[in-house]
Amino acid sequence: MNLAATLPAFTPTVSWTEMVSHRSYLVRFAQRKLRDPLMAEDAVHDVFEAVLSGRAVFAGRAALRSWLTAVLKNKIVDSVRRNVGLDSLEVVDGEDSPAHSLECPRPRPDEIAEQQQLLAIVLGRIEALPPGLRDVMRLRVLEEQSTADVCRELGISEDNLFVRLHRARKQLLS
């Protein structure tokens, strides 16, 4: 026996007028959740579109407003998932809004100039070190050669290399 044939056919339809009567409640609900009036309007529009296109079907097991709210909750979750990592650039609260705190990850031109000046000062100070300390800093720190390669090139032990690096750094910081 076919179970579907024994069940009563119950498919309530939702009229446009009934849905629209809940619109203001749904928009307020979405605004509280999303904190963005435009996204709230879009979410409510998506609910109405889903109902009218048949993607969301009202079975009549709950109140219409409760069911529409449940569909809206799912649309809000979908919207949040779609927009993860995207920040709104709208100015909502004036100068203190999150849009004003967004910065480019690259350094600004004045920061680049400052870094170049600092680099020139540090390189000049390294060049002013005594030859034994200068060579260790140049090979190990600036050229990033391995400890073994620096020791072999300069003919010194690892312990001596670390002592020289320590002394060079100490002189650079004073």
- Contact (CB, 8 A) for 88 and 98: yes
Q: Residue 99 has what pLDDT?
A: 53
Spans of all domains in the chain: 3-85, 109-173
Q: Are 140 and 165 in contact (CB under 8 A)?
A: yes
Instruction: Please tell me the predicted confidence (pLDDT) of residue 102.
Output: 62
For residue 1, the model assigns a pLDDT of: 47
SS3 per-residue string spanning 3-58: HHHHCCCCCCCCCHHHHHCCHHHHHHHHHHHHCCHHHHHHHHHHHHHHHHHCCCCC
pLDDT in tens, the chain (174 residues): 454 444 444 445 777 888 888 899 999 998 888 888 888 898 898 888 888 887 778 777 888 888 889 889 988 888 888 777 665 555 555 555 555 556 677 888 888 999 999 999 999 999 999 999 999 999 999 899 999 999 999 999 999 999 999 999 999 888
Q: What pLDDT, on a 0 to 100 scale, did the predictor assign at position 12?
A: 56
pLDDT at 93: 52
Domains 3-85 and 109-173 share a fold: no
Question: Considering only CA atoms, which of 75, 37, 69 is closest in space to residue 55?
Answer: 75
Q: Which pLDDT value is given to residue 56? A: 77
Q: How far is CA 136 from the centre of its chain?
A: 41
CATH of 3-85, one of 1.10.1740, 3.30.465, 3.30.1360, 1.25.40: 1.10.1740
CATH architecture for residues 109-173: Orthogonal Bundle (1.10)
- Amino acid 60: pLDDT: 77
